[in-house]
Amino acid sequence: MDFSVQAEIRAESKPPEATKKFDVVIIGAGPAGYTAAIYTSRAKRETLVISGILPGGQLMLTTEVENFPGFAEGIMGPDLMTAMRKQTERMGATIIDDEVVNVDFKRSPFKILTNAEEYEADAVIIATGASPRKIGARGEQEFSAKGVSYCATCDGPFFKNQELVVAGGGDSAMEEAIFLTKFAKNVHIIHRKDKLRASKIMQDRAFENTKIKFHWNSIIEEIRGKEKVSQVTIKNVTTNQTEVMDVGGLFVAIGHEPNTKMFKGQIELDEQGYVALRNHTHTSVEGVFAAGDVHDHRYRQAITAAAFGCMAAIDVDRYLSERIK
């Protein structure tokens, strides 16, 4: 994580307005939250963004982003998020770098409690995202964005003609491995069991792909390298034997955790903990909306999160026009 960029962002943020009541409070400051705030502010809705502990979201942990339209030469993830933040502020939104610890959506105006303050809002957009699960191997954090990736669609094209490793045995792992074979020399799937959790169709596609090799009953113990990943140590959990593999990169695909703990009991979540939507971006509580990876476990892209942010903001504006003002 580039802490200097975050420190610079924090230093530039505005202090809270005197009033703590807003037309709309947006929880989360990734592409979904910033885009929603740009739209609600432009629509003259007084907007507060509460950024959480990682302002900028997952893109703050990425290096180059090549697939966000508008940047012909690509852009670094933290630079993209800094630009989104500046644009959000220019549109007139207030941004607070604080963490939401509790919410009360039982009655309107809704209450949002942070570590420092309590805020009220006529409408809320939840844009808290999801966090990729970590495998817990030694070196995983050190080499994050230096050969360890949690998104093949985002980073796969940077690994042309290399030996790659994918951790996981679900649909995501199969999909990512198959996608990576477009670029990689070989893709090694490391799975902790002797059978896959993935659907039959995805298993069949992976088994048919001659570039994919399976390593069963195996876990990744350690990730090593200098400036970027060059080796992983794999341990067979039935024999306890270890093997060191020379690799160019590791893709972790063992699922995501939606950041919804604080909303349990307040809005409907699905069985995996994602926000359950109805009627586009509306949640089970009238006046509370959601945007981005916090409800979308299918696409998980910066551009789709931004698009959901736009949609939620338009729905909020309509809701406020019809119900409140």
Q: Give the catalytic positions in this structure.
A: 151, 154-155
Paired strand residues for 258 = 130
Q: Judged by CB under 6 A, which stretch of 12-20, 172-180, 225-233, 277-285 contacts ligand NAP?
A: 172-180
Q: Judged by CB under 6 A, which stretch of 66-74, 153-161, 190-198, 307-315 contacts ligand NAP?
A: 190-198
User: Does residue 146 belong to the site contacting ligand NAP (CB under 6 A)?
Assistant: no
User: Does residue 297 belong to the site contacting ligand NAP (CB under 6 A)?
Assistant: yes
Q: Between residue 105 and residue 134, which ones bind ligand NAP under the rule CB under 6 A?
A: 133
User: Cβ distance 249 to 159 under 8 Å?
Assistant: yes
User: Does residue 255 belong to the site contacting ligand NAP (CB under 6 A)?
Assistant: yes
User: Does residue 254 belong to the site contacting ligand NAP (CB under 6 A)?
Assistant: yes
Query: Which residues, other chains included, contact 124 with Cβ-Cβ below 8 Å and sequence gap of 6+?
Result: 24, 25, 26, 27, 103, 105, 110, 112, 287, 288, 289
Q: Do β-strands 130-132 and 47-50 pair in parallel, antiparallel, or remain unpaired?
A: unpaired
Min CB(281)–ligand NAP separation in Å: 21
Q: Both tokens of residue 15?
A: 């202090």
User: Does residue 192 belong to the site contacting ligand NAP (CB under 6 A)?
Assistant: yes
Q: Cα–Cα distance between 78 and 121 in angstroms, integer? A: 29
Q: Cα–Cα distance between 51 and 48 in angstroms, integer? A: 9
Q: Do β-strands 229-236 and 242-246 pair in parallel, antiparallel, or remain unpaired?
A: antiparallel
Closest-CA residue to 250 (of 171, 131, 135) = 135
- Name which position in 16, 92, 170, 273 contacts ligand NAP (CB under 6 A): 170
- Name which position in 20, 146, 197, 224 contacts ligand NAP (CB under 6 A): 197
- Name which position in 40, 114, 172, 301 contacts ligand NAP (CB under 6 A): 172
Min CB(266)–ligand NAP separation in Å: 24
Nearer to ligand NAP, 125 or 294 (CB): 294
Q: What angle do CA 253, 258, 260 make, to 5 degrees?
A: 165
- Name which position in 46, 89, 122, 175 contacts ligand NAP (CB under 6 A): 175
Q: Judged by CB under 6 A, which stretch of 15-23, 113-121, 192-200, 239-247 contacts ligand NAP?
A: 192-200
Angle between helices 31-42 and 77-90 (to 10 degrees): 20
User: Cβ distance 20 to 101 under 8 Å?
Assistant: no
Q: Judged by CB under 6 A, which stretch of 153-161, 189-197, 288-296, 313-321 contacts ligand NAP?
A: 189-197
Site residues, ligand NAP (CB under 6 A): 133, 135, 167-173, 175, 192-193, 197, 199, 202, 254-255, 297
